[in-house]
Structure 1
Amino acid sequence: METVKHELKTNGTFFSLVCKKNNYKTEEINVMQNTVNQLLKISTTSKKPGMLLGHIQSGKTRSFLGSVGLGFDNGFDAAIILTKNSNALVKQTFERIEGEFSECIEEDKLAVYNIMKMPVKLRKFELKKKLVIVLKKEKKNMQRLESLLFEMYPDLATQKILFIDDEADFASVAYDNVKDKNIIDLKVIAGQIDGIRARLSDAAYLQVTATPYSLYLQPDDMTVHEHKAFQPKRPAFTELVPVHDKYVGGEMYFDKAKEDGHMASYLYHEIQEEELEILRKSDKRKVKVNYLLTGERYDGIRSALIHFIVGSKIRNIQQEKTNQRLEKYAFIMHTITTKASHQWQEEVMLHMEEQLREAIEKEDPVFDQLVRAAYQDFVRSQMKGIYFPAFDEVLSNVREALIEEELLIEIVNSEQDVDNLLDKSGELKLRTPLNFFIGGQILDRGITIKNLIGFYYGRNPQKFQQDTVLQHSRMYGARPFADIAVTRFYTTKRIYDVMEQMHEFDAELRRAFESGANSGEVTFIQKDIDNTILPCNPNKILLSSVQMLKPGKRMLPTGFQTIAKSYLERQMKKIDKYMEVMKHTAKAVHPKDARCFLIKKEKIQELLAMIYQTYEFEDGYEWDLKTYCAVMNYLSEETDTNRKGYVWIILRQNRNMARIRKSTDRFEDAPDTKQDELKIARNLARVVPALILIRQNGAEEQGWRGGAFYWPVLVTPEETKTTVFAGKGVKER
């Protein structure tokens, strides 16, 4: 965003100090200067805020603290920093600010307060300093702020104040007809913020977040616009926090993970829903503690613990080899918020640790087998050019770590004293070389965790909003690639798919915002009971069932097996015959390739229904054919050309794709070839979609049942607008 700049003082005491401490790059300084310049120039409120938009765990705090320093040098007298409702996050923020501005505090130029621990009576001398007040977005804290500004120290209300709403999402957004207690409370807090802001003579409002979509996409009137799109309620201005070169986010965990051989393709390990249920509540009838090292039902959490220990020791050996300091490492287990569940999970993990020690003492071969399996997994993801230790050296180090009790299994939740949780820098304290944290709400967002190389996630995404699920991704942030090589992420297939959808949702909306695509509009649609497309309320953005439609996107079924060969052959005769008739009735045929032709969408729907009858799906996988067809119908109708209502078919035959990809042991999800049919499909899909139909031979040695079948891949048109489709079960890749 281009801004008419005021003459900012950029060499003042406060800004010079934070610049020196943080060694900001030029692009970061430009963002801070633009932010403060616009806060001085433009009227901002909680309803029309300035926005500092970054990625999760990507350095947003660096940017807003720089903006605070620059603001103090250019006329702001006080900064009021609103955090999420967490004592730990208040402490972390307070410690960070004190550290950044320590010299200014020592020279009596600045005072930093936690609002709930402020002195009863501040003297005039103290009130002449610049002030930073940190408080959480909670009703009593807000009432204390109101009393502070308008009763105890009314002169403060006449000064120039900067409000910073850190991790802003719902706090300033009011939804109608919402029954969730947390959101109702946030509506009350939003009202308190507005009330305080209205009584101040000179205040600016800056929101800092990585998940701003409830802010950007909330419409002004909550009514459907004529063209099925909602005009976003934009902030007064938006500045984008630059992403540093060490940042690891959703692109690594979901996009790069699809590249064969890339270290990211080994990050995700699937766990079973049954295992999550076992770990959610105490049930010693289901959990046989003497079989934790061998029982199949504990395979996921056992693998997680072993991988964490082995990965940490591999990194320590590598650090020792290059004369680096040996780092301590962290793992998070985050499945449910109740205290009883945390205690049960801690009990299970402590039993598992004890059994590992017993296996060492008894020289039980199961210990070597478990360590070797994790070691071999890390061999696959090792980085070229980095020393990788021999198995015996790793085994010896793992054995010693367990005997010497380097592993700490600890519950981290709101019941604990915050002072015991955080270190001097405000980060989660790593007490031992191996820190296995079992957590709840306190890990939801904001708290920084160093050297995190393992994440076991089991929260139910159907019960969350988009913002919350993304913020649970504590594995995002600055991560050395050598750590990524030994990082593993454990969750169910269902949750992984939801998180992948949300990552894509996040990335595509950000891209649309940054590029100005669709003239700032986002289209929201849903499928009604008659399978037709209707506009829908933007609160659909809060559901995990949303699908993002964008240019050139592929959509296809995965995780299926073909039906029995005898039934399959009969069904395929019908399908092949139908295909021949379709080709002869095509509206148009590609001049250079007769295997590409244009067909009415209704005929393709009938074809897809027949193909659907040839599939059987594994647990956790599905192909919602109605939604798939609804998306195809919508895309084929979104044009005013003579191809409206049509779909391109790209036909390929005699393929031999394996059902399971050997490199990752996961279901194949790319039956189409990038340089052949996919390239052609994307060239043809300009105004209407293309459907790639690949006739696989389905050989038994490839994991199928010995009969041919068709595998459809839907490709969205180049002119597709950014669209949020509220439907379920469409597998996107």
Structure 2
Amino acid sequence: MTTVPTEMDLNLNGTFYKGLDKKNGYSNETKVCIENTVKKLLHNDTSLSRPGMLLGKIQSGKTRTFIGITALAFDNGYDVAVILTKGTKALAQQTYERLKMEFEDFKHDDILQIFDIMSLPDNLTNYELEQKIIFVVKKEKNNLNRLKRALFETYPSLTNKKILIIDDEADYASVGFSKTKSEIYEIKVIAGQIDDIRQSLEQCDFLQVTATPYSLYLQPDNIEFRGFVFKPVKPAFTQLVPVPKEYIGGDYYFRESEEENTIAYYIYEPISPEELIILKKPDPRRFKIEEVLTSHKVHSLSAAVMNFIVGGVIRRIQSKKIGERPKKYSFIIHTEQKKQAHEWQEEVVIEMKQHLSVIVHENPELLTDLIKESYDNLKKSLLLLNCDVPEFQEVKYEVIQAIRKDHIMITKVNSEKDVNELLDDTGQLKLRVPLNIFIGGQILDRGVTIGNLIGFYYGRSPKTFQQDTVLQHSRMFGYRPIQDLAVTRFYTTEEIYDVMRKIHEFDSALRAAIENGNDNGVIFIQKDTSNKIIPCSPNKILMSKVTTLKPLKRLLPIGFQTGYKTYISKTVQEIDKMVDSFVQGNAPVLIDLKDAVTIIEKIHETFDPEAGERWDVKAFISSMEYLANNVPEQHIGKVWCVVRKDRNIARFRKSTGRYEDAPDTASGGQNELNVAKRIANGKPCPHSYTPARLRRTRMERCTILVACTCHASENANGGIYE
């Protein structure tokens, strides 16, 4: 883990942090995360272009952690906290209710006030303004305008206070650019409003909270257009939210699921792509809805619904037997964005429910077969638990009762209005009956909590998968009792499952890199080399300088200019001395990464920053370090070095007048690219070219001093860095 500055002493015994710790019983890992984050906020200038990053996993406790950070910040000099939520009433209300519950005692003691910005009174007294204040603000135009008026017009005294802005779901609406018809890049309205507010505050720190940070890491440092300077929200530091062992995420669904004799092994159920096509819209030629329980065309969906009903019934039976109150359970169907598809899917599932009600009386044998198929399916994972497994006849009886007594509810959710009508007092989706089936799309993702989820039928299959979007769709992630997992099933196509598994691997690699202390300012985000998966929407990084690393690609400076001979000759001699100490002749040689970095840094010293094209040496070195350290253990920290001397390479090609961009083939080259391809098996391969003579005069700028290329191995993962 990255070490934290020790010179900053925190008050860990203040009223707010101590009170919340007593109430919630934070784990040691969570305390470390909270305290490190506040230390870094105090130690780093995060008020403008370099906010802090609190990086968690989907439904892993990020809200709980940033509430703890808010409490500790209040004990250490901050007076106001602004919580930016996703621009939906559901998430704003959920956050507001959560904050009210957590800080309830402090509100009663008149030391803290909490307001939804749209309900903020215009007549707060000094008595109230002197208390700690929390504003909950949706990332929406009117909310942000109201916040701006409150801070700078209604209560201008607040601008003199120390303010902490916490941007929850920070990659949503906080960044992004649009290309107009006239090809001019424009900042999206929300991002511009947030930026305007934070730049106008004198004592303001900024913390981003997200599980999908890819677009944020890939932001440029600043953008200027039409005379306006925009400071993108690019992280200055990253603090990882600890992941307790009780958390169920990608490791469970895509790694543990490969191990036989585990509950996870039984969780995935493949569905056919043809079934997803049928569920897009009505088409009697493909599927007759009256055959909904018997047609093989929608067998996975009908089996999924039956598994959910049987699984929910089994869990309720188990709870009753040990004297617990039976829970209500949920199942999500999310395959399409279009409302037309949601309406059709609702029609299909309602028809399924009605058919079940009919066959209770008219075809009990078919119902018995359907229940038995699901019971046998779920029993495989239930038997791996040391728990009571109800007998089939008992389960069958309770399933029939659930059908007869209408314990199954089907709800279509495809608008914010739908979500708002379904919220309970805490801002979560209300489970009204024992078995709740929700059909919808994107409106069900990002922070909307759906309790006791034991079934997820997922089928979003675009041409290109956006990594952040797919992860946010993964509502099956979170804290799940092991007993619920035994009856949980996840349904999707094999193609989508493979994509999600690869996304999990990419996400895990990013987290591991941060955990291992990759804080040199260049963040590597893995990318599918086939372009089936991209990190985020292209609009979010439209203005960014992003480079892709892929197998056998080379990076090299092009069009640079060297300094005058009198200025650089000493450095050139130092480079020659180092290179000669490693290499004799033309044969490639393995050298230590640290030595390669030293050579590259010295090469960069010979460039004239005022002339020619610039070389991003930090990105070059970071790429070399990344490739050299992501190899089998016995090869870590080594790179191949190929040296060629006595070259006289022109800066421009005579034939085209363009910059020379292939030093490995130019001016007597022996096609060292093939050499690099042959030896770069798991390690990058830098080349060093030194010419026979140095020359640079006012009239002649034609000789390349040194060019370096870096070849990734054929097996290297693709990567994006900024």
Same fold (TM over 0.5): yes
State the distance in 1 between where 2:514 and 2:359 align: 55
State the distance in 1 between where 2:105 and 2:131 align: 13
Of 493-502 and 402-411, more deviation after overlay is shown by 493-502
Q: Residues 225-240 of structure 1: matches in 2 within 5 Å?
A: 235-240=235-240
Instruction: Tell me if structure 2 keeps the 8 A contact 1:523–1:721.
Output: no
Residue 76 of structure 2 is matched in structure 1 by: 74
Residue 718 of structure 2 is matched in structure 1 by: 723
Residue 385 of structure 2 is matched in structure 1 by: 384
State the distance in 2 between where 1:37 and 1:100 align: 22
Residue 507 of structure 1 is matched in structure 2 by: 508
State the distance in 2 between where 1:518 and 1:134 align: 31
Cα deviation, 1:413-434, whole Å, max 9, x if unaligned, reads: 3253655322223221111110
CA 1:85–1:233 in 2, change beyond 3 Å: closer, same or farther?
closer
Instruction: Tell me if structure 2 keeps the 8 A contact 1:414–1:441.
Output: no
Residue 248 of structure 1 is matched in structure 2 by: 248
State the distance in 1 between where 2:529 and 2:407 align: 54
State the distance in 2 between where 1:57 and 1:525 align: 23
Residue 444 of structure 1 is matched in structure 2 by: 445
Instruction: Tell me if structure 1 keeps the 8 A contact 2:94–2:427.
Output: yes
CA 1:258–1:186 in 2, change beyond 3 Å: closer, same or farther?
farther
The structural deviation recorded for 1:284 is: 5.0
State the distance in 2 between where 1:717 and 1:407 align: 55
State the distance in 1 between where 2:502 and 2:28 align: 34
Q: Residues 565-644 of structure 1: matches in 2 within 5 Å?
A: 640=640, 644=676
Cα deviation, 1:437-463, whole Å, max 9, x if unaligned, reads: 112332121011111010011223436
CA 1:721–1:187 in 2, change beyond 3 Å: closer, same or farther?
farther
Q: Residues 168-207 of structure 1: matches in 2 within 5 Å?
A: 168-175=170-177, 187-207=188-208
Q: Residues 109-508 of structure 1: matches in 2 within 5 Å?
A: 109-175=111-177, 187-220=188-221, 235-283=235-283, 286-382=286-382, 383-416=384-417, 419-462=420-463, 465-508=466-509
Q: Residues 698-713 of structure 1: matches in 2 within 5 Å?
A: none
Q: Letter of the 1:281 partner, please give it.
A: K
Cα deviation, 1:471-527, whole Å, max 9, x if unaligned, reads: 110000001121111111111222222212211111111112222469655387897
- Quick one: which of 646, 669, 677 aligns to 1:645? 677
CA 1:340–1:524 in 2, change beyond 3 Å: closer, same or farther?
closer
CA 1:246–1:523 in 2, change beyond 3 Å: closer, same or farther?
closer
Cα deviation, 1:153-200, whole Å, max 9, x if unaligned, reads: 111122111100001115443457599x9xx99732222111111111
Specify the SS of the correspondent of 2:188: helix
CA 1:305–1:143 in 2, change beyond 3 Å: closer, same or farther?
same
Instruction: Tell me if structure 2 keeps the 8 A contact 1:170–1:214.
Output: no
Instruction: Tell me if structure 1 keeps the 8 A contact 2:49–2:234.
Output: no
CA 1:92–1:351 in 2, change beyond 3 Å: closer, same or farther?
same
The structural deviation recorded for 1:74 is: 1.7
The structural deviation recorded for 1:343 is: 2.5
Instruction: Tell me if structure 1 keeps the 8 A contact 2:51–2:233.
Output: no
Q: Letter of the 2:469 partner, please give it.
A: T
Instruction: Tell me if structure 2 keeps the 8 A contact 1:82–1:165.
Output: yes
Of 366-375 and 279-288, more deviation after overlay is shown by 279-288
Q: Letter of the 2:496 partner, please give it.
A: I
The structural deviation recorded for 1:144 is: 1.6
State the distance in 1 between where 2:321 and 2:543 align: 49
The structural deviation recorded for 1:233 is: 9.4
Instruction: Tell me if structure 1 keeps the 8 A contact 2:85–2:92.
Output: yes
CA 1:423–1:334 in 2, change beyond 3 Å: closer, same or farther?
same
Instruction: Tell me if structure 1 keeps the 8 A contact 2:510–2:526.
Output: no
State the distance in 2 between where 1:725 and 1:130 align: 42
Instruction: Tell me if structure 2 keeps the 8 A contact 1:280–1:336.
Output: yes
Cα deviation, 1:73-113, whole Å, max 9, x if unaligned, reads: 22211111111121100010000000001111122222211
The structural deviation recorded for 1:278 is: 2.3
Q: For this pair of structures, how many residues does the alignment match? A: 559
Cα deviation, 1:245-264, whole Å, max 9, x if unaligned, reads: 21000111111122223221
Of 384-393 and 468-477, more deviation after overlay is shown by 384-393
Instruction: Tell me if structure 1 keeps the 8 A contact 2:177–2:543.
Output: no
CA 1:525–1:467 in 2, change beyond 3 Å: closer, same or farther?
closer
- Quick one: which of 11, 19, 22 aligns to 1:20? 22
Q: Letter of the 1:168 partner, please give it.
A: A
Instruction: Tell me if structure 1 keeps the 8 A contact 2:52–2:235.
Output: yes
CA 1:413–1:117 in 2, change beyond 3 Å: closer, same or farther?
farther
Specify the SS of the correspondent of 2:431: coil
Q: Letter of the 1:433 partner, please give it.
A: P
Cα deviation, 1:633-661, whole Å, max 9, x if unaligned, reads: xx99x96379853499xxxxxxxxxxxxx
Residue 91 of structure 1 is matched in structure 2 by: 93
CA 1:540–1:418 in 2, change beyond 3 Å: closer, same or farther?
closer
Q: Letter of the 2:212 partner, please give it.
A: T
State the distance in 1 between where 2:477 and 2:349 align: 25
Give % identity. Answer: 46
CA 1:178–1:375 in 2, change beyond 3 Å: closer, same or farther?
farther
State the distance in 1 between where 2:196 and 2:336 align: 35
Specify the SS of the correspondent of 2:341: helix
The structural deviation recorded for 1:16 is: 2.2
Cα deviation, 1:537-567, whole Å, max 9, x if unaligned, reads: 996999xxx9999xxxxxxxxxxxxxxxxxx
CA 1:110–1:285 in 2, change beyond 3 Å: closer, same or farther?
farther
CA 1:388–1:647 in 2, change beyond 3 Å: closer, same or farther?
farther
Specify the SS of the correspondent of 2:438: strand
CA 1:718–1:510 in 2, change beyond 3 Å: closer, same or farther?
farther
State the distance in 2 between where 1:235 and 1:283 align: 49
Instruction: Tell me if structure 2 keeps the 8 A contact 1:501–1:547.
Output: no
The structural deviation recorded for 1:361 is: 1.2
State the distance in 2 between where 1:60 and 1:109 align: 25
Instruction: Tell me if structure 2 keeps the 8 A contact 1:330–1:434.
Output: yes
Specify the SS of the correspondent of 2:640: coil
Specify the SS of the correspondent of 1:4: coil
State the distance in 2 between where 1:95 and 1:521 align: 35
Q: Letter of the 2:264 partner, please give it.
A: A
CA 1:521–1:56 in 2, change beyond 3 Å: closer, same or farther?
closer
State the distance in 1 between where 2:53 and 2:14 align: 24
Specify the SS of the correspondent of 1:437: strand
Instruction: Tell me if structure 2 keeps the 8 A contact 1:505–1:548.
Output: no
Specify the SS of the correspondent of 1:416: helix
CA 1:507–1:178 in 2, change beyond 3 Å: closer, same or farther?
farther
Instruction: Tell me if structure 1 keeps the 8 A contact 2:419–2:429.
Output: no
Specify the SS of the correspondent of 1:281: coil
Residue 106 of structure 2 is matched in structure 1 by: 104
Specify the SS of the correspondent of 2:255: helix
CA 1:718–1:25 in 2, change beyond 3 Å: closer, same or farther?
farther
Instruction: Tell me if structure 2 keeps the 8 A contact 1:171–1:186.
Output: no
Specify the SS of the correspondent of 2:510: helix
Cα deviation, 1:602-656, whole Å, max 9, x if unaligned, reads: xxxxxxxxxxxxxxxxxxxxxxxxxxxxx9xxx99x96379853499xxxxxxxx
The structural deviation recorded for 1:719 is: 11
TM-score, length basis structure 2: 0.71
State the distance in 2 between where 1:278 and 1:505 align: 32
Larger Rg: 2
Instruction: Tell me if structure 2 keeps the 8 A contact 1:375–1:391.
Output: yes
Where in structure 1 are there 5+ consecutive unaligned residues? 223-231, 530-535, 550-630, 649-684, 690-715, 727-733
TM-score, length basis structure 1: 0.70
Residue 597 of structure 2 is matched in structure 1 by: none
- Quick one: which of 10, 13, 23 aligns to 1:11? 13
Cα deviation, 1:220-274, whole Å, max 9, x if unaligned, reads: 489xxxxxxxxx9962222111111210001111111222232212211122222
CA 1:349–1:525 in 2, change beyond 3 Å: closer, same or farther?
closer
State the distance in 2 between where 1:68 and 1:118 align: 20
State the distance in 2 between where 1:189 and 1:537 align: 14
Instruction: Tell me if structure 1 keeps the 8 A contact 2:176–2:540.
Output: no
The structural deviation recorded for 1:124 is: 2.6
